[in-house]
Structure 1
Amino acid sequence: VQNMLQSGINQWSDEYPNREVLSADTERGELILGIIDEQIVSAYVMNCDADPDYYNADWQYPDANWCVVHRLCVSPLYHRQGLATQVMEYVEQTAKEQGFSSIHIDTFSGNPKALNLYHKLGFVDVGEAFWARGRFVIMEKKL
């Protein structure tokens, strides 16, 4: 979070995601960690929980069996090394194996690195939401 704030990306704060959110993710078995040399280097949540604002999006595949990726992050020590791409490729493979045919995701409109990553991976903008930290872009990818 501190690295994001120092980079001028106000997507997250001490309020979100907080310990309670991450503890709940862990208790449900939905928090997935990437480990290299016994260090946590990435994390994300994949489930079928969508914010109500998702239902206003212009989905390309409204009847698809979809999942949502939440809270994707990569350690600053591994930025610009392709790890986020590798994590998302793993997410896509896992989603396919679990029978999903599309992935939904959102990111802060002021986070150009995340927007570029998702667009590069084939995600398409389908809507927007205005939450406490500002405007977020809602995206979809057909698997």
Structure 2
Amino acid sequence: MEIHTIGIKELKEVSQFYAEITADLRKKGVNQWDRFYPNRFVIKADIKNGNLFGIQADKKVVGAVALNTNESKKYRDLLWEDVNGSPLIIHRLAVHPRYQGKGFGKKLLQFAENYSLTNGHTSIRLDVFSDNPGALTMYERAGFQERGIIRFPFRKVPYKCFEKILG
């Protein structure tokens, strides 16, 4: 289970990966993503910026996460513990349905934490669709603390924001 920086040659594969995950989530009634997000343009930007990382099994990408410092403007009103540090933001962490429950999500979170520490970050922040119990449980078990909720346009359900202090 080695994690690598996803390259532009993997754009089609990773776009299909996110499309399959979106379809599976919607089938389960978890409507956090749709045909508009995450889209090929978002994924391509992650790849071009060098901040999309993937984990492979059976010679294909089965998990991915984007790591950067781009936080939503909606984060400004939340009560974060790390107010003077340098937070890293997790975006679009996902594991293909056939590979869920096998430690891939945990491995991606561990990678994110190591990446954060290596790059001088003092905390990790993220937001999670509040109707996605599997994701909420994963982040809580990994030591993330809830800091509040935010709402995005065209989304009926709010997102819970989490933070993990490092070091």
TM-score bucket of the superposed structures, by smaller chain: over 0.9
Alignment correspondent of 1:82: 103
Indicate the percent of aligned positions where both proteins have the same amino acid: 31
Asked whether 1:127 is paired with 2:162, we answer no
> What amino acid is aligned across from residue 135 of structure 1 in structure 2?
P
Deviations 1:35-71 (A, max 9, x none): 2231101111000001100111110121121110000
Report the Cα distance in structure 2 between the residues aligned to 1:77 and 1:111, rounded to whole angstroms: 17
Report the Cα distance in structure 1 between the residues aligned to 2:75 and 2:30, rounded to whole angstroms: 22
Compute the displacement of 1:83 (Å): 1.3
Asked whether 1:141 is paired with 2:164, we answer yes
> What amino acid is aligned across from residue 107 of structure 1 in structure 2?
V
Compute the displacement of 1:94 (Å): 1.2
2:70 match: secondary structure? coil
Query: Which of these residues, 5, 21, 26, is aligned with residue 5 of structure 1?
Result: 26
Report the Cα distance in structure 2 between the residues aligned to 1:49 and 1:26, rounded to whole angstroms: 15
Alignment correspondent of 2:87: 66
Report the Cα distance in structure 2 between the residues aligned to 1:61 and 1:71, rounded to whole angstroms: 22
Question: Structure 1 residue runs of 4+, over 4 Å off?
Answer: none
> What amino acid is aligned across from residue 76 of structure 2 in structure 1?
Y
Report the Cα distance in structure 2 between the residues aligned to 1:86 and 1:44, rounded to whole angstroms: 11
> What amino acid is aligned across from residue 72 of structure 1 in structure 2?
L
> What amino acid is aligned across from residue 111 of structure 2 in structure 1?
Y
RMSD: 0.9
Question: Residue 56 of structure 1 contacts residue 127 of structure 1 at CA under 8 Å; is this kept in 2?
Answer: no
Question: Residue 130 of structure 2 contacts residue 158 of structure 2 at CA under 8 Å; is this kept in 1?
Answer: yes
How high is the TM-score relative to the length of structure 1?
A: 0.96
Question: Residue 82 of structure 2 contacts residue 122 of structure 2 at CA under 8 Å; is this kept in 1?
Answer: no
Alignment correspondent of 1:113: 134
| Match runs of 1:91-102 below 5 Å | 91-102=112-123
More helix as a share of residues: 2
Alignment correspondent of 1:36: 57
Question: Residue 62 of structure 2 contacts residue 96 of structure 2 at CA under 8 Å; is this kept in 1?
Answer: yes
Alignment correspondent of 1:14: 35
Alignment correspondent of 2:69: 48
Query: Which of these residues, 125, 132, 137, is aligned with residue 104 of structure 1?
Result: 125
More strand as a share of residues: 1
Runs (5+) with no aligned partner, structure 2 = 1-21
